[in-house]
Amino acid sequence: MSSIILLDFDFKKLQNLTMAGNDSISDSAINFATKPTDYKHWQLRIDGPKATLVMSVDDDNPLRDGYELKLNSYDLSVDIELADAIQRIRFEHPEVKVVTFCAELDKVFCSGANIYMLGLSTHSFKVNFCKFTNETRLYIEEASKNSDITFLAACKGTTAGGGYELALACDEIYLVDDGSSAVSFPETPLLAVLPGTGGLTRLVDKRKVRRDRADVFCTLAEGVKGKRAKEWNLVDGVFPRSKFDDALIERTDAIVADSSERLVSPAIQLPTLTPTIEDGNYSYEYVTLEVNQDDRVATLTVRAPKEAPPTDLETIHSQGASWWAIQAFRELDDALLRLRFNETQCGMVLLKTVGNPDYVLAADATVDNYRTKSRFVSEVAHLQARVLRRLDNTAKSFFAVIDSPESCFAGSLLEIALSADRVYMLEDEDEKIGIVVGPASKRLPMANGLTRLESRFYADASQVEKVLASTGKISTVDAEAIGVATIALDDIDFEDELRIAIEERASLSPDALTGMEASLRFAGPETMETKIFGRLSAWQNWIFTRANATGKTGALTLYGRPERPNFHWNRT
């Protein structure tokens, strides 16, 4: 079977859907909560230290009507389940040391993102879809690095486009050598777009494929097979079909045998998050997201623990997923995803916090104390970092607003303010309004590998230590002096100045703001992660709107039809 995947489709239906407009297909409310018993596209199997994630995409259960998920092609619903499965392996199955990705279909591992889903989706959905799938694949890599889990891709069949990108996220890739199965990136020759989930970056930065070979590979729609795939380092090994299963068993056995001693903790079950949704507002136990549709402005508020958090490991383990340190950040994560996909018109977000800063600092201290002693606490620390990176990578304008003695930008919650594009603080005579710095900053890195303080003070590393050395509540005046507050105003000017700033920001081009913010948020060194998201912001936001891809005669629009695309040949 060639790696060029042509899916049967009702083109008359596609034309009717496209002519009717596609907002209802792609941008209606999406729920990100799921659990293994609800999976439609994956099977999670646990066998002691081994886990297997079987891709078994249900053709008839796409995220939206209008397309079928044939040949293990995927849409957002498939990736929502995958992200959930990776999270559950880390928390609910701490015994797992190796995860193998495979497919139930014969001769097909994964044919990539469903092309008709992309064709029917709005531009914002396509880009957010690519961002979410990128984050999921990065979390696989992060689990390999921080949780001592080895991921294998068992490609027992055609592995094309996003299917190969999933394989690239794994530590090792094995391909069946049967004369037909290949790995491929057919997006450029077939669709006039690019591998949207970090494919090109991983190819050269992670797999270190030679540039000239990568050039050939990315323009071969049929892909590369067998020994050449191994020779070019596109895969780690090839086995004939008769020996493939045994070779994978031997390899996973070796990984388990070679695994070093690990931290232990009880399995922690992750309950499904069920926010109350009313009039476009989302309410969780510790997080609220209020959306003003008319002004295109949202307010995202995170609350501190309601009481002094536990400090002993036994109680923390017994609280499990209801422990503030994990629950509040899981809720924040869910709210950010709903903000991205369900509130596309909202471009301005005010970040607020409420509660007792001492309780936040106590929870942070407990995480710091036990993260090298409990696997569960270690995973909570990594989850907090992942959620904050999700915030960094969200294409909205963020203003942190610190205007009340009840504000609680302390410790790990201060990172929310430091992730914002601006920090507005109200000056009060009694100096009851302020922020509190804590050591949590050091374990919550951004995508560039730096802390948010290091990124903020990239020109003056000594300032980072000065800020970290601050003790107690830092008043507004002092916060401005040390460079944490962007703008500090008294109560006469604060409300009006903030209102004007919000209105001004909301009036600017969202396209220009997305590019500007993505460029400014990540000072300093480049990493594979910053390259992926930086290029995604530029590449996909541009290429997905170009006529060569999505115009009336574009390659993505005409995919699978008898007509050939009609390209504009001017290079820009």
For residue 526, the model assigns a pLDDT of 92
For 251, residues 6+ apart whose C-beta sits below 8 A from its C-beta are 152, 172, 174
> Which residue segment(s) compose the domain that 253 sits in?
18-258
Residue 220 in domain: yes
Q: In this model, does residue 532 exceed pLDDT 90?
A: no
**Does residue 194 share a domain with residue 59?**
yes
User: How far is the C-alpha of 83 from the C-alpha of 411, rounded, in Å?
Assistant: 27
Q: Is the pLDDT of residue 311 over 70?
A: yes
For residue 125, what are the CA distances in angstroms to 23, 27, 212, 507?
Answer: 9, 7, 33, 22
Q: In terms of pLDDT, which residue wins out, 404 or 561?
A: 404
- Tell me the pLDDT of the chain averaged across its residues: 91
In a domain, 268, yes or no: no
**Residue 556 forms part of a structural domain:** no
Helix, strand, or coil (residue 168): helix
In a domain, 562, yes or no: no
What gap in Å lies between CA 257 and CA 251, rounded to an integer?
10
Distance CA 223, CA 43 (A): 28
Cα–Cα distance, 117 to 113 (Å, whole number): 8
**Structure-token match 């990539």, residue found:** 112
Task: Report the range of poorest mean pLDDT among 270-274, 345-349, 482-486, 534-538.
Answer: 534-538
Listed in sequence order, the DSSP H helices in 170-303 are 187-191, 199-201, 211-217, 226-231, 241-258
| 392-427 core/surface letters (b: 16 or more CB in 10 A; e: else) | bbbbbbbbbbbbeeebbbbbbbbbbbbbbbbbbbbb
Over residues 327-378, the pLDDT tens digits come to 999 999 999 999 999 999 999 999 999 999 999 999 999 999 999 999 999 9
User: Of all residues in the chain, what percent carry a pLDDT higher than 90?
Assistant: 78
pLDDT tens across 143-188, in order? 999 999 999 999 999 999 999 999 999 999 999 999 999 999 999 9
- Residue 6: the pLDDT is 40
CB atoms within 10 A of CB 169: 24
Structural domain contains residue 544: no
pLDDT at 479 over 90: yes
The answer to whether position 249 is within a domain reads yes
Do residue 374 and residue 234 come from a single domain?
no
Q: Which residues contact 539 (CB under 8 A, 6 or more apart)?
A: 194, 196
* pLDDT at position 9 over 60: no
Q: What is the pLDDT of residue 390?
A: 97
Give the lowest-confidence range in 4-8, 74-78, 138-142, 520-524. Answer: 4-8
In terms of domains, do 251 and 305 share one? no
Give residue 28's pLDDT: 67
pLDDT bracket for residue 419 (50, 70, 90): very high
Give pLDDT tens digits for 199-246.
999 999 999 999 999 999 999 999 999 999 999 999 999 999 999 999
In a shared domain, residues 211 and 341: no
Lowest-confidence region among 466-475, 535-544, 545-554: 535-544
Cβ atoms within 10 Å of 6's Cβ, excluding its own: 13
- Are 384 and 449 part of one and the same domain? yes
Place 14 in a pLDDT band, splitting at 50, 70 and 90.
very low
Task: Kindly state whether residues 188 and 325 are assigned to the same domain.
Answer: no
How do residues 59-90 score in pLDDT, each as one tens digit? 999 999 889 999 999 999 999 999 999 999 99
Mean pLDDT along residues 461-482: 92
Position 400 pLDDT exceeds 90: yes
Domain boundary among 258, 287, 322: 258
Looking at the fold, whether 234 and 361 belong to one and the same domain comes out as: no
Provide the 3-class DSSP secondary structure of residue 61. coil
Residues belonging to the chain: 572
> What's the domain count of the chain?
2
Q: What is the mean pLDDT of residues 34-38?
A: 96
Encode burial over 500-528: b for 16+ CB neighbours within 10 A, e otherwise.
ebbeebbeeebeebbbebbeebbeeeebe
Query: In terms of domains, do 245 and 315 share one?
Result: no
At residue 540, the pLDDT reads 66
Task: Give pLDDT, residue 502.
Answer: 96
Q: Is 567 exposed, middle or buried (0-12, 13-18, 19+ CB in 10 A)?
A: middle
Domain end point (choices 258, 292, 312): 258
Above 80 in pLDDT, residue 3?
A: no
Q: Where are the alpha helices (DSSP H) in 93-194?
A: 115-120, 123-146, 162-169, 187-191
Q: Do residues 249 and 284 share a domain?
A: no
CATH of the domain at 303: 3.90.226.10
pLDDT digits (tens, 9 = 90+) for 253-278: 999 999 888 888 999 999 999 999 99
Q: Are residues 251 and 283 in the same domain?
A: no
Q: Determine the straight-line distance between the first and last CA of the chain, rounded to whole angstroms.
A: 37
Q: How far apart are CA 147 and CA 144, in angstroms?
A: 6
**Residue 241 placed within a domain:** yes
Sheet containing strand 150-155, edge to edge, reads 42-47, 50-55, 98-103, 150-155, 172-176, 237-239
Residue 11, pLDDT score? 39
DSSP 470-521: --SPEEHHHHHHTT--SEEE-TTTHHHHHHHHHHHHHHS-HHHHHHHHHHHS
Helix then strand then coil, % of the chain, to nearest 5: 45, 15, 40
Residue 17: pLDDT over 50: no
Boundary-marking domain end, from 516, 545, 564: 516
398 lies in the same domain as 501 = yes
- Whether the pLDDT of residue 18 is over 80: the answer is no
Mean per-residue pLDDT, 373-396: 97
Tell me if 160 is assigned to some domain: yes
* pLDDT of 557 over the 90 cut: no
Same domain assignment for residues 150 and 282: no
